[in-house]
Amino acid sequence: MVDFRRTMLTAGLAALAAIAAGAAGAQGDNAANFPNRPIHLIVGFAAGGGNDLFARLVGQKLSENIGQPVIVENKPGAGGRIAVEYVKGQPADGYTLMVAASGQMAVAAAIYPKLSYHPTRDFLPLTMIASFPLILAGPANDAINSVKELVAYGKANPDKSNYATSSPAFTITTELFKLKTGMPAVAVPYKSSNEMMLSVAGGNTLFSIADGPPTVPLMQGGKIRALAVTGSERSSELPNVPSMAEAGYPEVNIGLWSGLFVAAGTPPPIADKLGTQLRRALADAGVREKLKTMAVNPGGGSGEEFRNKIDADIRVFADVVKAANLKFEE
């Protein structure tokens, strides 16, 4: 009886091993033939925006490298979350990719308790496309020429200390700035980062922390003054503007990013092939130069590096939200 049971157990294990080997072989065959039809690249924002430009730039090069069309589809709404939910519901076969920003992924995961997805559990991060610091800007006058002077003014004039914001990412970064400096400031909401900076230029708000595209032109036109960029390094586009670390606040180091994802459950050989081809596209000199003209730092690192960055960002954002007692509506 014992020998019979041992024989049956051995046979069962052998059968399971054969099934597993067959599945692995099938995945390998699928990866070898992948892709053999068009790939859809989903963007959660309207055409013409930064993430859309990233998608079209990288998608074109990816298409050239793999010999298949890469079709960019825009599915805007709910701060990009509609697109993320859409991709989550698609087959995990590698034929649906997603360009997603830190706001849709790390910020959303930190501020929405009932979020219907998790950026590193429901998706495989493949590689970062680009990252960029945020810019702290104040009025173009002689009273405030540095971060220290801004903080001192805000503390001395709390009734005049307010800031413009248009997204949770900007709000969280500014609240972190307040926590580290002790500066009081009340948030004033706007619909876009362009409106935010125009409010500073017009004297309706004291300062703002935002992205580069709406900030740099106003700074160059003498309408506002860039006081610092977040993080430890100066921006190559703004070599005369100190970093927050240089200004004395190294912990104000939040930057934003955009990256490429595929649904969790995608066979590893296919995900690996996609990651390799995407990094190849991002290593192209022409692609990198075009990214730099958008005032961003080109990416192209490993999926594991990207995953670690996302998980770290979620913790940072969640800690600031808790410390500042922030509430956001979905």
Does pLDDT of 26 surpass 50?
Answer: no
Give the chain's mean pLDDT. Answer: 91
Q: Which residue has the tokens 């219907």?
A: 116
Q: Tens digit of pLDDT for each residue in 121-169? A: 999 999 999 999 999 999 998 889 999 999 999 999 999 999 999 889 9
- The per-residue pLDDT for 8 is 59
Kind and range of the H or E element at 50? helix 50-66
Q: Lowest-confidence range among 17-26, 98-107, 185-194, 309-318?
A: 17-26
Question: For residues 40 and 58, what is the distance between their CA atoms, to the nearest angstrom?
Answer: 13
Is residue 252 left, alpha or beta, with left meaning phi > 0 and alpha meaning psi from -120 to 50? Answer: beta
Strand, coil or helix: what is 205? Answer: coil
- The per-residue pLDDT for 7 is 59
Does pLDDT of 295 surpass 80?
Answer: no
Residues in contact with 314: Cβ distance below 8 Å, sequence separation at least 6, in sequence order: 106, 109, 110, 119
Q: Tens digit of pLDDT for each residue in 193-252? A: 889 999 999 999 999 999 887 888 899 999 999 999 999 999 888 899 999 999 999 999
- The per-residue pLDDT for 19 is 58
- pTM of the complete model: 0.81
Instruction: Fill in the amino acid letter for 95.
Output: Y
Share of the chain above pLDDT 90, in %: 77
- Domains annotated on the chain, with CATH: 38-131+255-324 (3.40.190.150), 135-247 (3.40.190.10)
Question: For residues 115 and 111, what is the distance between their CA atoms, to the nearest angstrom?
Answer: 9
Question: For residues 240 and 228, what is the distance between their CA atoms, to the nearest angstrom?
Answer: 9
Question: For residues 205 and 185, what is the distance between their CA atoms, to the nearest angstrom?
Answer: 10
